[in-house]
Chains A and B, each alone.
Chain A
Amino acid sequence: MLHPDAKLTANIFDKPAEAPTRDGFGKALLELGETNPNVVVVCADLAESTRVLPFKEKYPGRYIEAGVAEQNLATIASGLANYGKIPFITSYATFSPGRNNEQIRTTISINNVPVKIAGSHAGLSVGPDGATHQALEDIGLMRMQPRMSVISPCDAEEARKATLAAAAHQGPVYLRFARANTPIITTPETPFEFGKAQVVWQPSDKRKKPQVALFATGPLLYNALLAAQQLEGELAVIVVNIHTIKPLDIATIVEQAKKAGAVVTVEEHQVAGGLGSAVAEVLAAQSPVPVEFIGVHDQFGQSGEPKELMEFYKLGVQHIKEAIIKAAGRK
């Protein structure tokens, strides 16, 4: 059953409303425009699709155009942050933090300035644009950099909260957003704490020990919830939303992995370097249990509809159910 403390959308399993996570980012920027005069936006020629256009229209003096120049996007923002601004830089994740990775490393992370990197169109769900535009390495690139935090929100509402949290956080932050419409899982009442994982599903019979713990990040959390729901009565499962991949909520991950004794990770990203790696690193050191990894396994994406791609790359509900059963069987 849904965890009552998570206060998720009531009709979550019955055609919930959908929106892209990038929409929540755009909304939060408008709020920040109102509440924090230091927030500025620097964009690399993608104002509409990265959802910063309303901010540009409302606060033209705080919108800075970098053009199609992602290296400059990062270095300009570094200078702005060095001076005292809180710049959000926006592009597609394959370009920023993809193309400008070294500038982010040197002038933002080593420099230790509070630039917020918003990578939109991340994951396979970009669909028809194909492999060049489907960022599947961005979480890994960003979480490897010391001082960098990484947030991968599950829906538009969480994306809004994550953006507000990023602005309030002192250091550099990477925010991962997607282009496609995905179910709105959380509500304005759902708690969001930077760096804190959240149990969103638990066995209906609370006395029953969970048999598998699912750790999911991004919009695929919805598939993880569907898998848990469809297995209800068959297998007791816990689903944990890992919105903050760095700093990772190690305590919650170890606690839930110990309790369940088997783990499945779920992400729309390369397993290598992504959430799967992050969870495995923690568990290998602190509580070794069998882990199954749902994610992309050392492949690039390709053109197709998001749903087709989710099936092809084995990120669908059925694949997650199979991984849960497999993990439980490995104990």
Chain B
Amino acid sequence: MSEQTYQSVTDAVCHITLHRRFGPYWRAAMVAAMALTLLLASGIVWLLHEGVGIWGLNVPVAWAFAIANYVWWIGIGMGGTFISGALYLARKDWRNSINRYAEAMTVFAVSVSGIFPVLHLGRPWFFYWLFPYPNVMNVWPQWRSSLEWDFFAILAYLTVSILYWYTGMLPDLATLRDRAPTLGKARFYGFMALGWRGEATQWRRFETASLLLAGLAVPLVFSVHSMVALDFSEALLPGWHSTLFPPFFVAGALFSGFAMVLVLGIPMRRALGLQEYITGRHLENLAKVMLAVGLVVDYSYASEIFTAYYGMDPYEVAVTTHRMVGPYAWIFWGTIFCNVLAIQLLWSARLRRNHAVLFGIALLVLIGMWLERFMLIITSLYQDFTPSSWGMFYPTFWDLAFLAGSIGLFFLLFLLFVRLLPVVSMFELRKLVPRHSGESP
């Protein structure tokens, strides 16, 4: 960033949002994302009309794709909050060029994930019964259920993520407003900027708010993933009933979150010409963190297997064994390949710096994490205590449609974000400029 000035940074980022012509690739991506979103929408209509029976659920496997999707997406969301919040609190300035899109990713991923717990209900229109509102039935939620804790955890997390993301965008929205070439754009960004004028008092309050929100967001990241883990730990099912789950889920979330930041960042910096801002060093740092948390995840796998056999509980042993050799063994070994073996390549600096390889590994991690969630859910359910009730789960078309559709919706939101909002935080980048160029702030 040696040649960058305030002007050049602002020009470059504003150009993308205000003047750049988005070419056929963006359009093609939009069409694909919209098509998948339409699939999701039609799936939702059909689901509401028919019931959750359109999925392959049954007894004993009463949870499957929808919950796997939910846990996967919410885990992906963690990457953004961690980058912008934790690294902000730790004063790691290198994050300044990637935090905006990572945060956007968080908001979109959490929003997409939030669809699933609601639609997954047998009667989704009553989801608000989980909320403790005064009602004529005189009933409160059941506070011992982890689903109740989870409901609040997601709600709090989504709220804080959106606030943090949006507040952090205010100065940049004001910049866009000021530079808008048309009245329409000026009004749009002006409305979004909520009257930001860049006054010193505003900046002071802004800084305090950012610090507070970051301070809120970071513990929430840990709480929300611990709560998600407790959705499983609270049950007495072998394979779920484990105190290891909360830290294990936090690590897993960070793992998939960083993978998604890489999967989005590598093509985006190229497409939008952001190599100046999202540099190789950024990607390498992300890769290192991903490897580190990946190893924590791998450790969890090992300790889970160890605990099962060391504990000698026949049900735990049976579930663990069935995971590795049963009909769903391919999912277990797929997970091991993606999450354990593939990431070992990142030890090599040469491979780590090869962006194509890095992209591939990050993609494998995303797939691996989905498989892992799916495995965790399915393999504990399909063969539990009573052999007479053992049964397989087979996905239906709609199971796959909802997974594909959720990916479509996520990318639709992200593509719109790239098109309409500043993808890099201009004001935070400007903070980096003086130190490098010697200009006074």
Co-complex (A, B): no
